[in-house]
Amino acid sequence: DIQMTQFPSTLSASVGDRVTITCRASQNIIRWLAWYQQRPGKAPKLLISKASTLESGVPSRFSGSGSGTEFTLTISRLQPDDFATYYCQQYNSNVVTFGPGTKVDI
Amino acid sequence: VQLVESGGGVVQPGRSLRLSCAASGFTFSAYATHWVRQAPGKGLEWVASISSDEVNKYYADAVKGRFTISRDTSRKTMFLQMNSLRAEDTAVYYCARDPGFLERIFDYWGQGTLVTVSS
């Protein structure tokens, strides 16, 4: 199975900051990578697919980039609603795997 | 789009449980669906997927041979039959919709149902 790693595991930031989360795959997944946001006690929300395609309704301050084995999620100006845990997910194979998550807190 | 899970609860190790996911607000037969779980305080773990035509089914190694995914298109409902449950199966189980036949991403999620495996 393809293993996913994320760093940092926790990120402390302030409103207005630019934050970047990195996700690495154990093998080439081309651009088959998605990002999700999960707030405490809530279901995850799909933010980005195909490494950089923003889902409908997702604010433009979110962006994704990368290909192959290394990917990033950037939040250009952190807003109060953005304090949450973010997960990457590869879907290059029938067995999909998530990263361990990055918690963005104040 | 709405997905509503049910069937969770407390069950003893070795016993069985069947989860349901009732879908509404979209053409159920046109979309694949999935189960994803989250152990308390832990990350997300994909469990199983079923294609929109119900032909293709995939499972995580951790549940293969014990869990069975299925759908009833006439009832717009997906199921997860869980047998031989273990303590490590304790989690919130989410059902999720795929944006297509089997793209293997999850664009809509239910609220989750908690399964606790304990004696």
The rounded mean pLDDT for chain B is 97
Return the pLDDT at B101. 87
**With contacts defined as CB-CB under 8 Å, which chain A residues touch B111?**
43
Residue among B43, B105, B112 whose CB faces A46 most closely: B105
Question: Are residues A98 and B105, on separate chains, in Cβ contact within 8 Å?
Answer: no
DSSP A55: P
Could you tell me the two tokens for A57? Answer: 């309704």
- The alpha carbon torsion through A69, A74, A80, A85 (nearest 10 deg) reads 0
Q: At residue B100, does pLDDT exceed 90?
A: no
Candidates A95, A97, A102, A103, partner chain B, best to mutate (most B CBs within 10 A): A95
Residues 6+ apart with CB under 8 A from B119: B12, B13
The proportion of chain B whose per-residue pLDDT surpasses 90, expressed as a percent, equals 97
Question: Are residues B111 and A43, on separate chains, in Cβ contact within 8 Å?
Answer: yes
A35 interfaces chain B, CB cutoff of 8 Å: no
- In this prediction, residue B18 has a pLDDT band, given cuts at 50, 70 and 90, of very high
Return the pLDDT at A17. 96
How large is the average pLDDT for residues A42-48? 98
Question: Are residues A96 and B43, on separate chains, in Cβ contact within 8 Å?
Answer: no
Return the pLDDT at B87. 98
pLDDT digits (tens, 9 = 90+) for B66-83: 999 999 999 999 999 999
How large is the average pLDDT for residues B33-61? 96
A87 interfaces chain B, CB cutoff of 8 Å: yes
**With contacts defined as CB-CB under 8 Å, which chain A residues touch B1?**
none
3-state secondary structure labels for all residues of chain A: CCCEEEECCEEECCCCCCEEEEEEECCCCCCCEEEEEECCCCCCEEEEECCCEECCCCCCCEEEEEECCEEEEEECCCCHHHCCEEEEEECCCCCCEECCCEEEEC
The proportion of chain A whose per-residue pLDDT surpasses 70, expressed as a percent, equals 100
Question: Are residues A91 and B103, on separate chains, in Cβ contact within 8 Å?
Answer: yes
- In this prediction, residue A79 has a pLDDT band, given cuts at 50, 70 and 90, of very high
B107 interfaces chain A, CB cutoff of 8 Å: yes
**Residue A63's closest CA among A95, A86, A91?**
A86
Question: Are residues B105 and A55, on separate chains, in Cβ contact within 8 Å?
Answer: no
Distance of CA A43 to the CA centre of its chain: 15
